[in-house]
Amino acid sequence: MLPTAPLFGAIPGGPEMIVILLVLVLLFGANKIPKLARSTGQAMGEFRKGREQIEDELDEMQGEDDDSDTEFVDTEMNSETNNN
């Protein structure tokens, strides 16, 4: 069996996370980090809402397709019985 490597490398542990947080504080400043986190959370919420709306629309479309298929079969069966 071939060894597999993670797609993005190893997941950072405790010491690596501390370094990442320190770099973030140095780049953005302590005052902007909560604002960035808040805006990121809002963006994720909007993305989730949009995804759910699309999933609902697809489910509705699939439901309509299922109904139209059965109506077509019923119509065909009725026309065959009327012709006989």
Query: Given CA atoms 41, 42, 46, 52 in this order, what sign does their dihedral have?
Result: positive
Alpha carbons 84 and 82: distance in angstroms, whole number? 6
Select the more confidently predicted residue: 23 or 66.
23
| CA 58 – CA 66 distance, rounded (Å) | 12
Q: Is residue 3 part of a domain?
A: no
Number of domains the chain contains: 1
Supply the range of the domain harboring residue 54: 28-79
- Whether the model pTM is above 0.75: no
53 lies in some domain: yes
Q: Is residue 5 part of a domain?
A: no
- The answer to whether position 35 is within a domain reads yes
Residue 12 domain-assigned?
no
pLDDT digits (tens, 9 = 90+) for 17-37: 888 888 888 888 888 888 888
CA dihedral 27, 12, 39, 56 (to 10 degrees): 160
Q: How confident is the model at residue 70 (pLDDT cuts 50, 70, 90)?
A: low
- Domain membership of residue 40 (yes or no) is yes
